[in-house]
Structure 1
Amino acid sequence: MSDLTLLQHVLIGLIFVWSGLVRSGLGFGGSVMALPFLLLILDEPLVFLPIVSIHLLFFAGLTVWQNNRATLMGGIEAEANSTVDWQYLWKALGIMIIPKLLGVFGVIVLPNTLMTAAIYIIVGAYSLSYIFNKPLKSKSRLVDGFFLMLGGYISGISLIGAPLIISVFVNHVDKHKLRDTLFVLWIILVTIKMAAFVVAGVDLQLASQLWLLPCAAVGHVIGLRIHRRLVNSDTKVFMQVVGSALLVISCIGLYNAWAAH
């Protein structure tokens, strides 16, 4: 990124502030809501994906560690008061891990445009149900399992699987544990993705991390305050915020898919 102008560097820094805010505020969306803007400045996804991935590993890991360290220091049983729903996390991960690995290694190839559009349409329908306080709660384990498997596969080949995964998690995980549970899941999934980057010899942009990490940190701190207000609000407000974020992501994703086509 050394060839970019000063203005372009400033804009990239501001976008990473936004990315950090969304990530810590909601627990998801930091990558998807930042990448479309980043690619307008420099249309090279492999420049930004390693940066976004390392930021997620750092800030998500730090947040989960701080929250659960406070629990332990308070002398309370960690399992009962953890900010992570470990039981559902391991259950979901067991369903997702094989499709995730298939996606990472490109074992199965699906039409990208059709796959992308279908995912964002499904997520858009879910988001509207949250916004209008009519949440779709699947009573079928098969449907939940299908969404998790498809989300795992998509997360293996790109970054657009998260909204589909969240549409299942939000119906099974308490809102006070949702963000940190998603954080641990993202850490596991992104670690697998980063390992693939290293094996493939992708430049991890370590030099750019030095000045973009503080930018993301500013957004992270702001997002933490927003998150505290959200979890203390009533469930209806929380679900409407989550639904609105998912709807924005879906619209951006559908637009990008249409523009690329």
Structure 2
Amino acid sequence: MDVLQSFSFYQLMCIALLFIWTGFVRSGLGFGGAALGLPLLLFVYDQAIFWMPIIGLHLLFFSALTLRTRINKVDTAYLKKSMVIILPFTLIGIAGLITLPTHWLLSFIYGVALLYSLLWLFDIAVQSHSQFIDHCLLAVGGYVAGTSLTGAPLIAAVFIRNVSAPLLRNTLFVTWFVIVSLKLSVFWAIGVALQWQTAILLLPVAAAGHYLGLKAHEYILRNTILFKRVIGFILAFISLLGLIKVWWL
């Protein structure tokens, strides 16, 4: 709360718009809310450890809301199989988040965002054609999720190949729920502030984005390439500015 109260009116408006955006992406695509939101939020306040609990609490809330009547439409067998690989690397990533110097952590987040932006901008799909590559992508995705909550596109690329389309989004939501629950539990255990009051204050704007994303879900699926190219261009610009800010300004 103290940090939020220190923001100017302009900063608060930017934060509100960005949480509408993260909610929109999360429910519209089924993944990517943190990957597309965190790099932007770091321009408002450059402490990832402040934003991650808020994003995580929102993800838990909206995932539970989405799954409350759809939990039976989850590929439980593949979920259990993938978690054996994802969760250990998530713990390693959390350790990195806690111990890395701020400028290295920011560089990592902006670097991952830049990589995603280029993949989306040039319509390069992250694909796997073997179980070994699946395991590598899940491991890297788990680590990135632990460090910055932005590993969703890598994990989703594997799930797309192994989970049937009708079960995909719900299975991904359960995956994010488990990963974020683990991350927030570690934060709580080591005394990191979970920022739950700030998360509650921002819940209405995130809910607006979530609602808009649900409405736009089918449209986004029909125009995925255009959507990703536009977002890729914007994200590349933001990521480059972020790296310049970290290392040269």
TM normalised by structure 1 equals 0.76
Summarize the alignment of residues 93-242 of structure 1 with structure 2, pairs less than 5 Å apart.
Answer: 93-106=83-96, 123=116, 127=120, 131=123, 137-230=127-220, 233=222, 237-238=223-224, 240=225
Q: What is the root-mean-square deviation of aligned Cα atoms in Å?
A: 3.2
Deviation of the 1:208 alpha carbon: 1.6
Q: What amino acid maps onto 2:22 in structure 1? A: S
Q: Given that residues 123 and 164 in structure 1 are in contact (C-alpha distance below 8 angstroms), is that contact kept between their aligned partners in structure 2?
A: no
Percent identity between the aligned chains? 36
Deviations 1:140-199 (CA, angstroms, capped at 9, x unpaired): 211111111111122222223222222222233333332222111011001111011112
Aligned residues: 239
Summarize the alignment of residues 40-79 of structure 1 with structure 2, pairs less than 5 Å apart.
Answer: 40-68=43-71, 78=72
Q: What amino acid maps onto 1:27 in structure 2? A: G
Q: What amino acid maps onto 1:39 in structure 2? A: L
Q: Given that residues 35 and 151 in structure 2 are in contact (C-alpha distance below 8 angstroms), is that contact kept between their aligned partners in structure 1?
A: no
From the two aligned structures, give the one with the greater helix fraction.
2
Q: What amino acid maps onto 1:103 in structure 2? A: G
For structure 1, which segment, 217-226 or 176-185, has the greater mean C-alpha deviation from structure 2 after superposition?
176-185
Summarize the alignment of residues 74-85 of structure 1 with structure 2, pairs less than 5 Å apart.
Answer: 78=72, 82=73, 84-85=74-75
Unaligned runs of 5+ in 2: none
Q: Distance in 2 between matches of 1:36 and 1:106?
A: 18
Q: Given that residues 123 and 167 in structure 1 are in contact (C-alpha distance below 8 angstroms), is that contact kept between their aligned partners in structure 2?
A: no
Q: Distance in 2 between matches of 1:255 and 1:164?
A: 24
Q: Distance in 2 between matches of 1:229 and 1:63?
A: 19
TM normalised by structure 2 equals 0.80
Relative to structure 1, the CA distance from residue 47 to residue 58 in structure 2 (aligned partners, 3 Å threshold; closer, same or farther) is same
Indicate the structure (1 or 2) with the bigger Cα radius of gyration: 1
SS at match of 1:139: coil
Q: Given that residues 15 and 34 in structure 1 are in contact (C-alpha distance below 8 angstroms), is that contact kept between their aligned partners in structure 2?
A: yes
Unaligned runs of 5+ in 1: 69-77
